[in-house]
């Protein structure tokens, strides 16, 4: 996973993305949120499962990211799965347009975190794994786990 830098606190991560996709490239994006969404995220009520990003009309949008309603909110609470705009520089969006036009590449949110008080989304340009690739990564993970257990047992 990405190195944790000073001042960063991970809110949610999409572990399933690393299992289902080969992550080719990563980039950081801001996210446009409503007030109750920010408060709900501070409570840790964010789920990245099944979420993805799309480039439409020169803008990047995050879809299916579930932010539960704020516990102390009123009738003006936000809709949990509304599309949210991601904030990127124009040249970054152009690069993403070029990459997502390639066959089989998609934009997947990998994690959401606080960075100097701002909420950021780490996007990954990903290519889907086949079943054989998933089995191979599972075997590798199991071998690493066994090796770590053997080293721990020897001590």
Residue 2 confidence (pLDDT) above 70: no
Does domain 10-129 fall under CATH 3.30.1300.10? My reply is: no
Q: What is the pTM of this model?
A: 0.78
Mean pLDDT along residues 99-107: 84
**What CA–CA distance (Å, rounded) separates 85 from 17?**
20
Mean pLDDT (whole number) for 10-37 = 88
Measure the CA–CA gap between 69 and 129, rounded to whole angstroms: 34
Segment 59-75 shows an average pLDDT of 84
pLDDT in tens, 73-94: 777 777 788 899 999 999 999 8
What is the DSSP secondary structure assignment for residue 64, as one 8-state letter?
S
Distance CA 144, CA 47 (A): 28
Which of 84, 51, 53, 45 has its CA nearest to residue 65? 51
The DSSP bridge pattern shows strands 59-63 and 21-31 to be unpaired
The predicted pLDDT at position 4 comes to: 58
What average pLDDT does the structure give for the chain? 86
């Amino acid at each position: 996973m990405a190195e944790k830098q000073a001042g960063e606190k991970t809110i949610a991560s999409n572990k399933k993305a690393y299992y289902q996709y080969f992550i080719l490239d990563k980039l950081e994006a801001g996210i446009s949120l409503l007030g109750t969404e920010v408060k709900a995220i501070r409570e840790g009520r964010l789920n990245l499962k099944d979420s993805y990003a799309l480039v439409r009309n020169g803008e990047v949008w995050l879809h299916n990211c579930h932010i539960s309603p704020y516990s102390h909110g009123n009738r003006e609470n936000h809709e949990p799965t509304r599309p949210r705009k991601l904030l990127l520089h124009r040249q970054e969006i152009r690069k993403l347009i070029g990459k997502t036009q390639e066959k089989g590449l998609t934009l997947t949110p990998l994690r959401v975190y606080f960075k100097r008080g701002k909420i950021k989304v780490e996007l990954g340009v990903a290519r889907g794994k086949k079943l054989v690739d998933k089995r191979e990564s599972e075997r590798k993970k199991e071998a690493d786990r066994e090796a770590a257990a053997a080293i721990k047992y020897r001590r």
